Chains A and B, each alone.
Chain A
Amino acid sequence: MRFLLRRLGFYLIAFWACITLNFFLPRLMPGDPVSRMFAQVQTQMRPDQIAALRQLFGLTNKPLWQQYLDYIGNIFRGNMGISLSRFPTPVSSVISSEIGWTLLLGATSLIIAVVLGNLLGIIAAWRRGKFLDSVFPPLLVFVGSFPYFWLAMAALYLFGIVLGWFPLNHAFTDGVEPSFSFSYVADVANHLVLPALTIVLVSIGGWMLGMRNTMIATTAEDYITMARAKGLRSGRIMFHYAARNAMLPSITAFGMSLGFVVGGALLTETVFAYPGIGYQLLNSVQALDYPLTQGIFLTITTAVLAANFLVDIIYVRLDPRVRVS
């Protein structure tokens, strides 16, 4: 428990450091969004019009420390300002309208890749040199080293256009009203298959190889020999003795990836015209939409920290040795 509280303290400090950086970075840049947006039309605008816009965007001439306090207060009230590119939608609404899709796509594909990849890795290491071990790692590394967009477009062409098994774009059929009906869920799932499948395909090899290698190192441990000497069944040794120890590094990697899921999958979203944070982030950067960019960065930061904390909690449950340190 003390370990977790210490970790929590650490994450709170990291979070504070992040929002502070997030506050200062844009302010270190010369000019402000309004002057930039209206750089071309500035001559045709009266200063009081510009002042009004500034007011609207919350760009005030208050002292920096007061701006900082306002900023922190706003964040804790969930107010991340107003998006400039999608004016006058608040940043929080832009993010919340997209984050659901990002989480659905990212979490689904990550969990499938992790579970399946680790399972394959466990079995491959256990039957080292046998069929699964000699065929899958090179095959998955081969597939994984295709440029992602190429693989995604190939999948789209084959399964979407030629075979017509899956829809070509969007998260659900246009015009369908979102509801909790079976048909809507099925429609969403159907739209999810290709984007998720392509992500799984490129990432699963890494998970499998990582797990396989740790697992092979683990099977050389004395406690595995002792478990064999004890006459335990192969399945129990494989999962309770070997995999249970070998999965620890995988859990750390999973936590890191889980945090970054929130950042969206830009290429996937682009190829499959799938809604998500990645595309919004790209948009906001191109449109110099600082509030939105900042809001998304803040969301990603929070998610990474939260995911790491989650992994700490899981780790404490999985590895008793962490509890004492």
Chain B
Amino acid sequence: MSTILQGGPHAGPRAASNPVLSIKDLRVSYTTGLGTVNAVDGVSLDIGAGEIFGLAGESGCGKSTIANAVMRLLQAPAKITAGSIDLNQCNVLTLSDEELRRTRWRDMSMVFQSAMNAMNPVMTIGEQIMDVFTTHEKMPKKEARERAAHLLSLVDIKADRLKSYPHQLSGGMRQRVVIAIALALNPSLLIMDEPTTALDVVVQRDIMAQIKELQQSLGFSVLFITHDISLMVELSHRMAVMYAGRLVEVAPSNVLLDDPLHPYTTALMNAFPPLSGPRTELLGLPDAPPTSAGRPSGCSFHPRCPLAMDACRIQDPVLRPAAENHDAACLLVPEFVVPPERLAQ
């Protein structure tokens, strides 16, 4: 894939020195009548300034829960039980309601999964963009309208669409409007929770290209969530693969694509057809990820893992360096030891 963003300032170190978003040991649990499920089970990750960070995994692995935890949109029965989320060195989890309201959209915004449902059906596009400005910047209506028109132009939509209602736009346009709304206040972090799953592949590519362009000109960081690993590899600088509430592999995207270390990452990649190249047989992954019934002993992936050993049933692997800039949580992957001469530096 030639479109992979090669190198760049963020492809290198595993944690930027001044991360825009820093999640440490985040744990989120859902308490239901059937018991407590740890949807996110000790996830740590950093996203640097101007970095696009991808988060991939099957449905139910906890990707969206992380996104909602960062925005503090989780509602009962979901509960953050441990960890911290720092946005620009400020802990999001300890903000008061009013501080949180001010922080939302100004410092972090979100593009929701389904653009059709993310917009109020009885308000015009314009009103839904303008209320961001009138609320956060106390801007007069006229100015807000001009800013809204400008925003739409960023995503190639004509200003006369401000008077349209969501149902009058096509799916792709709606998603672009939602992206425009998300960029209204020039946030430092944009969270995209499967922003293109509802769209066809062609529109999907257009929108992705547009996001990349905007990201390069505006410089925001992105937490990009999808189960479409090929899409993610194209877009993101660095990415993490998630399984059953934990990160199992983290690496720059091109590294992950060329040299996946965790068997789950390999399986995930085999499940998606490449857009170009020879026809290959797709390999699905048998069974389903662990559910509320509880996680398996040892490595939670071992029941589905083609390479599982006896030790996998007993020992729970932790995420550790597997190479320079490459972390993996698998017993098959030997731990990478930093050469002593590098340590001395």
Contact = CB atoms under 8 A, between A and B. Distances in A.
Interface in A198-237: 221-223, 225-233, 236
Interface string B97-139: 0001111111001101110011111111000000110011000
A183 to B, nearest CB: 45
B122 A319 contact: yes
A231 B123 contact: no
A230 B105 contact: yes
Interface string B66-83: 000001010000000000
A297 B274 CA distance: 72
Given A321-B165, A321-B167, A229 B120 contact: no
* Size class of the A contact interface (CB-based, 8 Å): 20 to 34
A20 to B, nearest CB: 39
A241 interface: yes
A240 interface: yes
A221 B73 CA distance: 13
Given A221-B117, A236-B135, A320-B165, A229 B110 contact: yes
A79 interface: no
A252 interface: no
Contacts of B104: 228-231
Contact of B117 (A222, A227, A236): A222
A324 interface: yes
Nearest to B119: A223
B119 A231 contact: no
A155 interface: no
Chain B residues touching A, majority SS: mixed
Chain A residues touching B, majority SS: helix
A278 B8 CA distance: 81
A244 interface: yes
A223 B135 contact: no
Contact of B120 (A228, A231, A245, A324): A245
Contact of B114 (A222, A236, A245, A320): A222
Given A222-B114, A320-B167, A324-B168, A229 B119 contact: no
A217 to B, nearest CB: 13
B128 to A, nearest CB: 9
Contacts of B105: 229-231
A231 B73 contact: no
B120 A227 contact: yes
Given A222-B114, A324-B167, A232 B131 contact: yes
21 contacts: A222-B112, A222-B114, A225-B112, A226-B110, A227-B120, A228-B104, A229-B104, A229-B112, A230-B104, A231-B100, A231-B105, A236-B131, A240-B123, A240-B131, A241-B120, A244-B120, A244-B122, A245-B122, A319-B121, A320-B124, A324-B168
Interface of A: 221-223, 225-233, 236, 240-241, 244-245, 318-321, 324
| Closest A-B pairs by Cβ, 8 of them | A231-B104, A222-B117, A320-B165, A231-B105, A223-B120, A226-B118, A231-B101, A222-B118
Given A225-B112, A229-B109, 20 more contacts: A222-B112, A222-B118, A223-B121, A225-B118, A228-B73, A229-B71, A229-B112, A230-B109, A231-B101, A231-B106, A231-B132, A232-B101, A232-B132, A240-B120, A244-B120, A245-B120, A319-B122, A320-B168, A321-B165, A321-B167
Interface of B: 71, 73, 100-106, 109-110, 112-114, 117-124, 131-132, 135-136, 165, 167-168, 178, 181
